[in-house]
Amino acid sequence: MNLLHAPSMSSRFENPFLPHVRRHVTIDRTGRERVRLSTPAEWKSFSCNSGNEFPRRGKLDKASRRVYAPIASVARTEGTASIQETDILQVKGVTYRPPGSDATLLDNVSFSLPEKSLGLLYGPSGSGKTTLLQVLGGLATPTNGTIYIGNNSTDSTKNPHGPGSLSARVGIVFQFPERFFLTDTIVEELIFGWSRQTQDPVLRQTQTLKLQSAVYAVGLSGLPLDMNPRNLSDGYKRRLALAVQLVRMPEIMLLDEPLAGLDWRARADVVKLLSALKKEKTIIVVSHDLRELSPIVDRAWQMEMGGVLTQQPWTSTVTK
C-alpha cells in the first residue's frame, strides 16, 4: 500500500447527534478520509467508519486544525471524492403520474437544496406537495426526471439514485406522525425494524450509539425510554417521530406539516428543534405556517395546482 497516512487527529464532535463522542480522523495523500468514533470508557470502546465527509474547520480544536489544514488543501487540489463539504439535493425535471392514471401530479419539477439547510415547500391543498415528498423519499417512482443526492452541482460523476437507494438516504415524517406509533415504549418505537438477532457487538454498539444520538438530538434524553409514547405531550410526540427517522441516520429529512395540530408552545418548540437540526441535516418542510418557519428557512418553493413548482425569493414570500 503506497498511501502515506497523515498523523491521526482527534477532535471532540461538537454536534447534537453525537455528544461526548471523540472523532479520530486520518487522511491519506489521495484525500481519502477515515473517521473513527469512540465513546467514553463507560460506554465501552467502539469504532466505525463514518463516511468521508471532511470535518469542518470550525469543529476542530486548535491543535487539530494545525495538522489538518495542509492535508485538507492537498485533498482539495487533487479533486478526490472526499471533497464533499457541500452535499446537494438536486431534482431535475421530475414528472409524476400515478401508475394507471393520466393525472399529472408533478409537472417537470426542478430544484436543488444545499446541504445543512432548510427548504420550505408551500402551496394550496391538493397541489402535490405530499406527492413530491413521496417521490423524494423513494416511495413513488418518477415518471420522468432524476433525483440526485449529489456532491456538488458540477460533479459529473454523481449517479442518479433509484427509489430503493433514496429511501435509505431520506427520512420522511408524515403529517400527524404520532397516529402511526406502533409500540408501547419509546425505545421500541425507535428500534422498530432493527434486527434483534444480530450477535455482532460492533453493529449492536453502532445501533446503540445511533439511538442515543437521535434521542439526544431531539431532546428526549431526560425521559425514561420505557415510557409509553402515547403519554407524551403533543410536542414530544413530534420529537419522537423525528427521532424515529434520525435513528436511521438519513442524509435528508422530509417533514410534512410538522407544526400541524400543535399549540403555540409546542409549535415554537418544534421550530427551535428544526433550527438546531438543520445544522446537521438537510431538511425539506411542507407547511402552511410560513411566518413561524420564516426565520429558519433558507430556500422556498411554491407548488401550484397541477404540480408546478416555482422557487420564491424568500424575503418577498414572508411578506405575503
Q: How many other CB atoms are there within 10 angstroms of residue 253's CB atom?
A: 24
Pick the stretch among 85-93, 96-104, 182-190, 272-280 that binds ligand ATP (CB under 6 A): 96-104
The reply on whether position 98 binds ligand ATP by CB under 6 A is yes
Collect contacts of 37-40 with beta carbons under 8 A, ≥24 apart.
37/13, 37/209, 39/209
Measured from the CB atom, the residue of 240 and 254 that comes closer to ligand ATP is 254
Rg of the chain (C-alpha set): 21
We find the least distance from the C-beta atom of residue 47 to ligand ATP, in angstroms, to be 43
We find the least distance from the C-beta atom of residue 135 to ligand ATP, in angstroms, to be 10
Question: Are 161 and 136 contacting, i.e. CB atoms less than 8 angstroms apart?
Answer: no
* Burial of 207 per CB tally in 10 Å (0-12, 13-18, 19+): middle
Pick the stretch among 5-13, 82-90, 99-107, 160-168 that binds ligand ATP (CB under 6 A): 99-107
The reply on whether position 177 binds ligand ATP by CB under 6 A is no
How many residues in the shown chain lie near ligand ATP by CB under 6 A? 12
The reply on whether position 172 binds ligand ATP by CB under 6 A is no
We find the least distance from the C-beta atom of residue 139 to ligand ATP, in angstroms, to be 11
The reply on whether position 105 binds ligand ATP by CB under 6 A is yes
The reply on whether position 117 binds ligand ATP by CB under 6 A is no
The reply on whether position 306 binds ligand ATP by CB under 6 A is no
Distance linking the first and last C-alpha atoms of the chain: 61
Measured from the CB atom, the residue of 170 and 211 that comes closer to ligand ATP is 170
- Choose which of 128, 138, 177, 258 interacts with ligand ATP (CB under 6 A): 128
- Residue 28, Cα to own-chain centre: how many angstroms? 28
The reply on whether position 131 binds ligand ATP by CB under 6 A is yes
- Choose which of 117, 130, 245, 282 interacts with ligand ATP (CB under 6 A): 130
- Choose which of 40, 51, 126, 201 interacts with ligand ATP (CB under 6 A): 126
The reply on whether position 129 binds ligand ATP by CB under 6 A is yes
* Burial of 26 per CB tally in 10 Å (0-12, 13-18, 19+): middle
Sites of contact with ligand ATP (CB under 6 A) = 98, 101, 103, 105, 123, 125-131
